[in-house]
Structure 1
Amino acid sequence: MIEEPRSAVQRKADTLALLSSPVLDGWVATDGPNLVPLTLAWFRERLIAATDGANPTAKTLIATGRARIGLGHTRDVVLVDAELERWLPVTEAPEINDAYTTQNDWDPGKAGPSYVFLVLRPTRIQAWREADEIPARTLMRDGAWLI
C-alpha cells in the first residue's frame, strides 16, 4: 500500500522523533574514504558522536570539519550534512556524556581516555520515504529549519 506523501510538518516531526529515539545508529561519511557506523545522540539540536580520537573517521572529521550522516532505512531516510562545532575528550564533557548515555545503550565515559565527543551542527537535513517526497525533502538549510 502506497501512502500519500507526508507534509513538511509531519516529516520534521518524524525526523525529530528519529533523532531522539533510543540507540540512534547512523552511517557517517567524511571527506576521507571512510563510511562507518556510529551510535549518535541528539542533544540541544546537535548530533553527538563518540569514538576513539585515533579512529580515521574522527581524524578526518577533525581535519575537514564536515560530515554526512545517513539515518533510517532506504524507504524512510534522513540525511544530515553537518559541520564539526567542536570536539573534546569524553572525560571533559559530563553533561554531554549524560545525554549520550541516556539516549543510548553505551557509556563512552567508560571507554578510555582516547575517546572523544564530536559535536556536529546540522547545516542541512533532508527526509523522504518514496520518490513523491523527494522534491520537498529539504527540511533544514544553512542550519535553520524551513518549517
Structure 2
Amino acid sequence: MSRLGYATHSNSVTRFKEERAAFISNLEANANTLRDHPHAAGEVADSLYGLVDQVRRIKVAAVAMDAIRSDPYVRAKPYAFYSHEVPLMCKDVVASLLHWADILVNTDGRRTDDIVVQSIRQMLVSLRF
C-alpha cells in the first residue's frame, strides 16, 4: 500500500472514531445536563436536534471507511457492516434524537426529563457501532 493510500486509509478510520467519540460525549453531556438540571429541557432539546448532523457525519464516515477492508478495525466487523448496518443504525438514532427532543418540549404538562435521560443511557449502553 502506498503512503498516500495509507494516509487516506488512516484518515478514514480516524475520522469515524473521532465522530463517534464526539457523538457519545455530546450525548452523555446532554443526559448529565438534563439529569442535573431538568429545567434545561428546552436547551437539551435544541442540542439533541443538533446531534442529528453529527449522526449524519458518522454515517458518511462509516461508509467511507468500510471501503478500506485492509484495516483491522474494519475487518473486525462483518463484511459491509459500516456501509450497510451503521447507516441503518444511524437512521434509528436520528429518530430517537428527534423523538426525545420533541417530548422534552411538548410535555403536555408531564415531566419527561427522566424518561429521556434513561433512554439516552440505554442507547449509550447498546450502541453497536
TM-score normalised by length of structure 2: 0.28
> TM (normalized to structure 1)?
0.26
Structure of higher CA gyration radius: 2
Higher helix share: 2
Structure with bigger RCO (C-alpha 8 Å, 6+ apart): 2
More strand by share: 1
